[in-house]
Structure 1
Amino acid sequence: MGLKELWLEEEKKSFQGWDFSYINDRTEEEPLPWDYDKIVRQYLNPDYMLLDMGTGGGEYLLSLGHPYKNTCVTEGYPPNVELCMEKLEPLGIEVKQVIDDSHLPFDDNMFDMVINRHESFDVNEVHRLLKPNGLFITQQVGGKNNKELSKFLIDDFKEIVSSNFDLNNNVELVQNAGFTILKSDEYFPYIRFFDIGALVYFAKIIEWEFPNFSVERCYEKLCQLQSILEKQGFVESREHRFIIVARKTQK
C-alpha cells in the first residue's frame, strides 16, 4: 500500500470522546510548565459542587474521583453527549448538552468550582454560576495553536480562532467580570509527528484549525512534509496553551 492510500485510511478513522491515544506512540508533545490536573486537585474539595465544562466523554472527570452527586458536566458535541448519557448519568452525574455558552442550564450561585479544559466559555455566565469565592480553573488552546502548520497545509487559509485569543486578553476579560486572578501562565510547546498518517488523523479531527483539510486537497503539501520527516525524523508544529485560576470576588 502506498503512502497516499495509507493516509486516506487514516483520514477515515473514527474518533470518540477526546481521546488521542490512537496516535500517542506516533507523536510527542512537550510537557507544559504547569500541570492542570495537579492544579485542579490542589483546589478541589469533596464537598464542592463541581461543574466540568466540555467534559468530552468524561474521561478526565472520572479520574478525579469526585462524588458523583456533587458533579455536573456540559458537552456540546452530539456523539460525546450520547456517550456521557450512557456512561455518566447512570452514576448520578448530571449531564447537560450546551450549544450556547451564554446560556448554561444551571441555577445562580450553584457551584463551588468550575473547571474547563480546552472548552469555550462566557466568563459572565461562569461568574453567575459560581458561589461567592467560587473558583474558575481553565486551560485554553490559544489562537496561535498550530497556526503555521495550518497556513502551510491549507491554501487560502482563513483563521477561525483569532490569534488574539491569548493569556493577556483573557486575564483582562476575567478580571473585568469580577474575578481575582490567583494564577496565570502561557506557553508554546512543540508537538512532533513521527509519521504523516498521524498528522492526517490529527488534522482531520481538529477541523477548526485545519479547515477544509483532506488528503486529496493537501496531498502535495503532505508529500513535502513527508520529505522533511525523512530527513529529520519528525515534523514539528507549535501549539499554544494558557491557564487561568480565578476566584469570584464580586457579585
Structure 2
Amino acid sequence: MNSLELKCYWKSEEAHSFQGWDFSYIKGRWDCEELPWDYGSIVLTYLKDTYRLLDMGTGGGEFILTLNHPYHLTSVTEGYPPNVKLCKEKLEPKGITVKQVYEDDKLPFAENTFDMIINRHESFDSSEVSRILKKEGYFITQQVGGENDYDLSNRLIDDFQPQFPKHTLINNENALKKHGFKILESQEIYTPIYFYDVGALVYFAKIIEWEFPGFSVDKYFDNLCEIKEDIDEKGFIEGTEHRFLLIAQKQ
C-alpha cells in the first residue's frame, strides 16, 4: 500500500467501534503473557454466596457474570456512558444494581454496604472504598500500573509524559493502610506485550487514550510508519505491561 492507502486503512482501524471491554476485534493481531495470578480464582476464593458484592468499573459486565453470584446481592459501577447503557440493558433485567459514577471519591452507596468490593483495572479512592465496605470486608483489586505501555507510548506520542507515575504497588498499599486496611497479599509484575500489525496498535491506542494522550493517525502518521518498518523487519513491536494485585481486609 502507498502512504495514502495506509493512512486510510489505519484511520478505519482508529474509527472502529468499541463496546464493553472486549478486544476480540484484534484477536490474533496482538498478544501478552499471562499473569502469574488468576484474578477470577482469587475472587472466588474469598467470595461467599451471602456477600453483598460490588464490582467497580465493570465495563460491559463481562466478568461479573462469570462469577454467578446471586444477582440481588450484586452491584456494579461504571463511568463510561456507552458501557453504562450496555449494563442497564444487560444486567439490570437480571436484578443487578447498576450505578453510573463520575468521581472516585463519591460513590453512590451508603456506609458499610458491601462485604466484598472487587476492582479490575478501575481507579479508586481508598477512603471511599473503606467507607462503603463493612468491617472485615475484602477489597480485591488488579491494577494497571503507572508504567504500563510506557515504552510504546513514548515511541508513538511525541514528548510523552506518563499520566499516573505514582500509581505503583507500594503507594497503593500505603494508601489502603492509611484508611484502615490490612494487606493480605500483594504482587507486582512487568510482562511483554506484542503487536503484529500497526492497525491493531492504532485500535488499541485510540481506546487506551490515557496512555496515548492526543493520539490520532493524522497527528502521528510518521511515527506509525516508523513502527511499521520495525514490524515489517521483526514481525512485531514489543512493549511492557505493568500490573499489580492487592488483597486487603478492612479492620
Alignment match, 2:78: 75
User: Do residues 236 (structure 1) and 238 (structure 2) align?
Assistant: yes
User: What is the distance in 1 between the residues matched to 2:115 and 2:67?
Assistant: 16
User: Do residues 182 (structure 1) and 184 (structure 2) align?
Assistant: yes
Deviation string 1:163-183 (CA, Å, 9 cap, x unpaired) is 221001111111111111111
Quick one: which amino acid aligns to residue 53 of structure 2?
A: L
* Equivalent residue for 2:139, pick from 130, 136, 148: 136
Q: Give aligned-pair identity as a percent.
A: 58
Alignment match, 2:110: 107
- The unaligned stretches of length 5 or more in structure 1 are none
Tell me, what secondary structure is at the counterpart of 1:240? strand
User: What is the distance in 1 between the residues matched to 2:12 and 2:192?
Assistant: 26
Tell me, what secondary structure is at the counterpart of 1:127? helix
Matches of residues 1-251 of structure 1 in structure 2 within 5 Å?
2-161=5-164, 163-249=165-251
User: What is the distance in 1 between the residues matched to 2:99 and 2:44?
Assistant: 23
Deviation string 1:50-102 (CA, Å, 9 cap, x unpaired) is 00000011011011111000000110111111111111111111111110111
Deviation string 1:146-167 (CA, Å, 9 cap, x unpaired) is 1121112111223222x22100
Deviation string 1:90-144 (CA, Å, 9 cap, x unpaired) is 1111111110111111111111100000001111111111111100000111100
Quick one: which amino acid aligns to residue 148 of structure 1?
A: D
Deviation at 1:43, TM superposition (A): 0.8
User: What is the distance in 2 between the residues matched to 1:187 and 1:214?
Assistant: 30
RMSD, aligned α-carbons? 1.0
Quick one: which amino acid aligns to residue 7 of structure 1?
A: W
User: What is the distance in 2 between the residues matched to 1:236 and 1:24?
Assistant: 16
User: What is the distance in 1 between the residues matched to 2:25 and 2:95?
Assistant: 30
C-alpha contact 2:182 2:248 (8 A) present in aligned 1: yes
How many residues were matched structurally? 248
C-alpha contact 2:75 2:98 (8 A) present in aligned 1: yes
Deviation string 1:217-238 (CA, Å, 9 cap, x unpaired) is 1111111111111111111110
Quick one: which amino acid aligns to residue 159 of structure 1?
A: P
Tell me, what secondary structure is at the counterpart of 2:28? helix
Deviation at 1:9, TM superposition (A): 1.1
Quick one: which amino acid aligns to residue 71 of structure 2?
A: Y
TM-score normalised to the size of structure 2? 0.96
Deviation at 1:184, TM superposition (A): 0.2
User: What is the distance in 2 between the residues matched to 1:100 and 1:217?
Assistant: 31
